[in-house]
Amino acid sequence: MAAAGPEDPSLERHFKGHRDAVTSVDFSLNKKQLASGSMDSCLMIWSMRPQMRAYRFVGHKDAVMCVQFSPSGHLVASGSRDKTVRLWVPSVKGESTVFRAHTATVRSVHFSSDGQSLVTASDDKTVKVWTVHRQKFLFSLSQHINWVRCARFSPDGRLIVSASDDKTVKLWDKTSRECIHSFCEHGGFVNHVDFHPSGTCIAAAGTDNTVKVWDVRMNRLLQHYQVHSAVVNSLSFHPSGNYLVTASNDSTLKILDLLEGRLLYTLHGHQGPATCVAFSRAGDFFASGGSDEQVMVWKTNFDAADYGEVLKTQKSGSSVDGTYHSLVGQHAEIP
Helix (H, G, I), strand (E, B) or coil at 322: helix
CB 148 within 8 A of CB 138: no
Q: What is the pLDDT of residue 304?
A: 53
Query: What pLDDT sits at residue 302?
Result: 76
Q: What is the pLDDT of residue 318?
A: 28
The dihedral through the CA atoms of 110, 116, 122, 127 has a sign that is: negative
| Least reliable range by pLDDT among 45-54, 72-81, 86-95, 313-322 | 313-322
CB burial class (10 A; 0-12, 13-18, 19+) of residue 73?
Answer: middle
Does residue 23 contact residue 289 with C-beta atoms inside 8 Å? yes
Could you report the per-residue pLDDT of 117-146, keeping only the tens digit for each? 999 999 999 999 999 999 999 999 999 999
Please give the Cα distance from 162 to 170 (Å, whole number). 5
Taking the mean position of all CA atoms in its chain, how far away is CA 228? 18
Instruction: Give the per-residue pLDDT at 330.
Output: 35
Q: Which of 42-51, 77-86, 281-290 is predicted with the least confidence, judged by mean pLDDT?
A: 42-51
Q: Is 256 helix (H, G, I), strand (E, B) or coil?
A: strand
How far is it, in rounded angstroms, from Cα 252 to Cα 268?
5
Q: Please, which pLDDT band fits residue 288 given cuts at 50, 70 and 90? A: very high
Contacts of 29 (CB under 8 A, 6+ apart): 69, 71, 72, 73, 281
Confidence band, pLDDT 50/70/90 cuts, at residue 303: low
